[in-house]
A = this chain, B = another copy of it.
Amino acid sequence: MKRTALGAAGATSAPLISLEKQLLQPGVKGLPITAPLPQGAIGSQQWNVLRADTSFPVAVLKISALQHNLRWMRAFCERHGAQLAPHGKTTMSPQLFSAQLANGAWGITLASVAQVQTAFRYGVRRVLLANQLVAPADIKAVIALMRQDPGFEFFALADSSAGVARLSQATRLMGLERPLPLLVELGLAGQRAGCRTMDEALAVAREVAAAPGLELAGIEGYEGLMVSQDRERDHQGVRDFVAGLSDLLRKADAEQLFTRGSILLSAGGSAYFDFVASGFAQVRGLSRPVLPVLRSGCYLTNDHGFYHDLIEQLNQRVGIAPEQGLKPALEIWSIVLSRPEPTLAILSMGKRDASYDIDLPRALAWHRPGGANADAGAMPDGCRIEKMNDQHAYLRLPADAAITAELAVGDLVGCGISHPCTTFDKWPLLLAVDDDYGVRHAVNTFF
């Protein structure tokens, strides 16, 4: 089984096997097929991206980097006594969820009920919905899943009386057999959802604890939006926020609002999970065990831009050499379609294929299929993607570089991306490759 390369113990589950058995149709981006092909047969085709066997653009996941990152995060969490519920919205990939769970993840975090339904369908049975649960159809869908499998553990957030009242009424109307566990969300002034003050949050916690059909399972917050030019202030802000979450938890516990076997305490995007883990490790002496849950989604692939830089900073904070830290695993390869001007190459990828919301893709490597070199060459300094249209990228080359004379129509260009979430959602299928860019298997996404 090739998927066991990612340590996915659940890879033999029926839903994942059904993905291997499905017939992929011509027209799936990246696949060089002219007739339907069972997904499980991809590994035996012996395609190699650098030989231009695939179609372009193609999204590749480097298996060795994924394996490294899975092990790295497991060790990090074990070292800090924290659980991991990686944010599944990043990849929305059943095979990657399976690999994360097989590598010690406690559950999967998700952002919408549609995502919860998809994860459930592929075997995920512990979900933290890092959002308020509001729409009637969504409430009904969650309750249906809780009924379908009494072992399905589901947690959602609450940050208002109005939300608590809606949910309580809905669970009563639908006659849910077991209480719906909620975490009170503490927010930050000027930021996203979440109660803005400790008093507001405590009030919502009391309402949840008192509401029929609901139970208070813990406290939650999201610190990941605190990224500004003033890094010292960001860091202090994160530490203060983590302390605030712990403080809220202590106050709610002092009022005996928690009644489950343990109390969830969750935060942690992909930028500051070190601060979160060490802050949460200090929470002790409560009425029942506290389960600290980190939620990084982007650790799995890292990137070559925004998260790369944040992870480098994290490495420095915790004393990890860069080469031992999380590795970028996701690349988009495209082909040179046109060399219309001496310093311009037009590539076969665009806004439909690579993130552009934080930074444009970064040109990493180039390769001439069938040329003298088996390996791709590093893209020289000064080569950069300066613009993307829907289906094209503009690669600007330095006037005096050797590559500027050399790069030709039909050459391949490999790009790193900035922000995995907005690249994964552009690919229904990504190809997992070995270190030589040989295609070993595929992973699906559901957006």
Binding site for B on A (CB under 8 A): 25-34, 52-56, 89, 111-118, 121, 131-132, 134-138, 140-141, 144-145, 159-160, 162-163, 166, 187, 189-190, 192-196, 225, 335-341, 346, 348, 351-352, 356-357, 369, 389-392, 394, 408-410, 421-422, 425-426, 428, 446-447
B121, B132, B341, B390: the one contacting A26 at CB < 8 Å is B121
Give the oligomeric copy count. 2
Contact B121 A25 (CB under 8 A): yes
Contact B137 A55 (CB under 8 A): yes
Given contacts A348-B134, A390-B421, A422-B351, contact A193 B338 (CB under 8 A): yes
Residues of B within 8 A of A138 (CB): 55-56
Residues of B within 8 A of A390 (CB): 89, 111, 421-422
Residue of B nearest to A131 (CB): B337
Q: How far is the CA of A446 from the CA of B31 in the complex (A)?
A: 14
Contact A340 B196 (CB under 8 A): yes
Residues of B within 8 A of A52 (CB): 135-137
B189, B356, B391, B425: the one contacting A341 at CB < 8 Å is B189
B114, B136, B338, B428: the one contacting A132 at CB < 8 Å is B338
Contact A352 B447 (CB under 8 A): yes
Contact B410 A348 (CB under 8 A): no
Residues of B within 8 A of A341 (CB): 189-190, 196
Which residue, of A140, A141, A192, A421, has the highest number of chain B Cβ atoms within 10 A?
A192
In the complex, how many angstroms separate the beta carbon of A343 from the nearest chain B beta carbon? 11
Q: How far is the CA of A160 from the CA of B32 in the complex (A)?
A: 24
B112, B121, B340, B356: the one contacting A193 at CB < 8 Å is B340
